Structure 1
């Protein structure tokens, strides 16, 4: 049995038969072209990177629900490439919309309502999400990016890294993850590249559309995983997403 543990802000939660890591860095990836992913944001606590996220409108960032603990104030950093450069903007979070059905690995999605709308620029832009509840075909080449660790025992990356990953068949995900995988609201991808601690909440991007949210991976083994990385499937949550965003309009 593969053991994975859910990591929340670097704190290890009790292990499950399969466990997942929160605060998941890009492994076997390369540095992204600066500002080629202007939708990417860094979620920070007290000036320290904790998770990734991505702009889906001028007022909202999407991320993984496990990236926030009640009572913690996160700051959204937009327009960044090198977090050590400080050439970016910080925006406080006005409200945390956690999906009502979130339970550890399940329904791992939240929307962060920003204190003020962001302005489009060369370094700041939001990304499209699916319009219908349609699955991405297996073997589709997608990409993932983040400022997380480059190896499980390695350092965090100050510069945005990216990697191409291949969508894995649902049957393979179910076989490898068992009861921890939900066919209806999860998807997985792999190919020897993927995420690690600190990448949680970032988007899985296929054909310029954010289709998944970095959720969990095999505990202690993001370097050479034996099972695929798992993402929350955004299309499954469209009614809830539209309700939250439209209520602000």
Structure 2
């Protein structure tokens, strides 16, 4: 009995440490919680009625959000800006979408041209918690072996969705390696793949692949079994779409 009591006391003393470790090591998939408001360009796309997070996105102007075309499911989308923990977002952070502009050649079955612009109903007020992120120039591709970062409120290893913004580092792969792993599903002219100790998962689609201070990709799809683990994550390459983006924003 004495041994049992001692064991229980030891377990009780360890519980706070175990809880803390589990909290900080969950993530996008095996990522960590982002520092609050360290990614002020990130937005959460949510369904109008239930206010459920469905995708990520990012601000490229005070009126436009860039995201994935797959995130348009037919219902009205609300854009939440300046948030870290979605449970505490304010009504002033929520903006309705004025117009949806998916790429006209988007193919759902293959995720080709998986990119979309959202024109907001009103211009956002830029501040410390709400900022823009830069895009690459046309034809400016990221090289293989570059350490980048992805973030989102999508599924983690422990829960189907994270209320807090999570992030993880990931490394870009060669086009040859991406094609070897994905075969005919990978289109080098408009896709990038990357992987690392963690990566994107369900609910992270539409968020940016950020290398340095530039968004070079839009989170598109991952392996069917374990997100980042069976195959590298795939991102829509932004640089081939710069002219299309500029035309939509100025047209």
- TM-score, scaled to structure 1: 0.86
1:38-187 counterparts in 2 under 5 A? Answer: 38-45=40-47, 46=49, 47-70=51-74, 72-87=75-90, 89-104=93-108, 105-151=111-157, 154-187=159-192
Largest Rg, 1 or 2: 2
2:32 counterpart of 1:30 = yes
Deviation at 1:192? 2.6
**What whole-Å deviation, never above 9, does each CA across 1:151-210 have from its counterpart, x for those lacking one?**
2x7331100000010001110001111111000000000013101111010000001100
Aligned with 2:86: secondary structure?
A: coil
State the alpha-carbon separation in 2 of the partners of residues 185 and 63 from structure 1: 15
**What whole-Å deviation, never above 9, does each CA across 1:81-104 have from its counterpart, x for those lacking one?**
000112461000000001011001
2:220 counterpart of 1:215 = yes
Contact 2:80–2:89, Cα closer than 8 Å, also in 1: no
Aligned with 2:176: secondary structure?
A: helix
State the alpha-carbon separation in 1 of the partners of residues 63 and 226 from structure 2: 36
State the alpha-carbon separation in 2 of the partners of residues 109 and 86 from structure 1: 26
Deviation at 1:227? 1.3
Which runs of structure 1 show a deviation greater than 6 angstroms over 4 or more consecutive aligned residues?
Answer: none
By relative contact order (CA 8 Å, sep 6+), the higher-ranking structure is: 1
State the alpha-carbon separation in 2 of the partners of residues 77 and 240 from structure 1: 25
Deviation at 1:56? 0.4
- TM-score, scaled to structure 2: 0.85
State the alpha-carbon separation in 2 of the partners of residues 242 and 86 from structure 1: 30
Structure 2, unmatched stretches of 5+, are 1-26
State the alpha-carbon separation in 2 of the partners of residues 134 and 84 from structure 1: 38
